[in-house]
Structures are given as structure tokens and as C-alpha cells.
Chain A
Amino acid sequence: GKKIPNHDEL
């Protein structure tokens, strides 16, 4: 599946 980028930004 698609890779989810880590949501570590604001």
C-alpha cells in the first residue's frame, strides 16, 4: 500500500 509519511511537522 501507500506509505504514510510521519506527521511530525506543524
Chain B
Amino acid sequence: NIFRAAGDLSHLISILILLNTIQKSRSIAGISLKTQILYVLVFLTRYLDLTYRYVSIYNTLMKLFFISSSIYIVYLMIYKFKNTETEQIDTFPIEYLIGGSFILSLIFNYKFQFGEILWSFSLWLESVAILPQLFMLQRTGEARTLTTHYIFALGAYRTLYIPNWIFRWISEGRVDYLAIFTGIVQTIIYSDFFYIYYHRVLKGFKFELP
């Protein structure tokens, strides 16, 4: 359906914006390494199911793309364009996010099974993975426009999945409570950012937090 397609497209675009921004400016200023490391964890724990679960060629290719691009981005950030200045303001304690997501995944899962716990963990972790990046934005008070486009496209992906889930619930009777709940949590975390993005960036102002 259109929402899912638009969501996936926006997910894809967000990664391309980020890669393009890093490659062109040859800099990772303003980008949170911690958020990027969390995404590697999210993609690895959710998408390694491609080794034992086949959905479609599209699904497999997308999973491979998200795993490899997220690892590549972390590689660029650590080895190629290392930025100690940005690292110094990237101080969000992610061990709490990882630990909390792990505990939640043990409590909330469809079956107490390795694959299902990993799946649940990835959903919880994804819902909060942007926090170090938003925290960094808040500390610096402003961001490059491209960075804000990246965050927007990434947030749009899960937000667009919400109408997709409603659509699938109506048309197929399919409900994934975990994905829906964590997707809503994720969208709420983004809501403040979306609001500022709409008011500043789309109207041509510099992205500055009020």
C-alpha cells in the first residue's frame, strides 16, 4: 500500500541524504555517532532474520541495504571523518536505551524465543535510537539543513507506517501490537522535532531551537 511504500522510500532517502552529506562535506559535524551505532544494532537484530526467513526479493535487498549502509556510516564516522569536537557533545547515555530495550523485549514479545526477542528488542531500540541525535541538536541549538532533512525523513518512515498498519488491519486483519505501540512511541519522540522542522526549515529559516 501507498503508506508503506512511502515509508520505505523515506527511510531509503534518509540514509542517502546522510551518506551524501558526509561524502560531500567530508565531515560528520553535528551527526551523532551514538545514534548511528544504535541503528546498526537495530538493523542487525531485526534484519538478520533474512538468513532464515524469506519474504520477497524487495524485502531482502532493502534489509541488506540498511545493514550495510549503517555499518558503512559508522565506519566513515569512526575512521574516515573522525570529529572529536562532535564526539564531545555526543554524551547521551545509550547504555540505558540498550538495557531498557532489552528488558522490555524480554517482557513484551510474541514468543519467548531468540528470534522473537531480537525482533522486539529492535523495535524498542529503534523507537528511542534518535534520542542522542536530538539531544545533540538541543545542545548545539542549531543544525545544518541537510541534517534536519535526514532526521525528518527518518522520522517520516515510522510515522507513515502508522496509517499503513491501520490499512493492513482493515484490509487483511493483520495487527502487530508491538510494532504499532513502539511506532507510536517513536512518532511522539519525533513530534517536537517535526513541529520545529515545519516552522523553521520549510519556511526557509535556519534550523534553530527556540
Q: Which residues of A contact B (CB under 8 A)?
A: 1-10
Chain A residues contacting B62 (CB-CB under 8 Å) are 10
Listed by A's residue number, 9 A-B pairs whose Cβ atoms lie within 8 Å are: A3-B110, A4-B110, A4-B116, A5-B175, A6-B174, A8-B55, A9-B161, A10-B62, A10-B63
Chain B residues contacting A7 (CB-CB under 8 Å) are 49, 53, 55, 119
A7–B59 CA distance with the chains assembled, in angstroms: 11
Known: A5-B175, A8-B56, A9-B176. 6 other contacts (CB 8 A): A2-B110, A5-B110, A9-B161, A9-B179, A10-B62, A10-B63
Chain B residues contacting A6 (CB-CB under 8 Å) are 174
Main secondary structure of the interface of B (DSSP, over half): helix
How many residue pairs at the A-B interface have CB separations less than 8 Å?
31
Known A-B contacts A2-B111, A5-B110; the reply to A10 vs B176 at CB < 8 A is: no
Q: Which residue of A lies closest to B47 (CB)?
A: A10
Top 9 closest pairs, chain A to chain B, by CB: A5-B176, A4-B110, A8-B55, A10-B62, A2-B110, A10-B8, A4-B111, A7-B119, A5-B174
Chain B residues contacting A5 (CB-CB under 8 Å) are 110, 174-176, 179
A2–B55 CA distance with the chains assembled, in angstroms: 22
Is A10 in contact with B110, judged by CB distance below 8 angstroms? no
Cβ of B4 within 8 Å of any chain A Cβ, yes or no, is yes
Chain A residues contacting B8 (CB-CB under 8 Å) are 10
Is A10 in contact with B59, judged by CB distance below 8 angstroms? yes
The residue in B8, B110, B119 that gathers the most chain A C-beta atoms within 10 A of its C-beta is B110
Q: Which residue of B lies closest to A5 (CB)?
A: B176
| Nearest Cβ on chain A to B54's Cβ, whole angstroms | 10
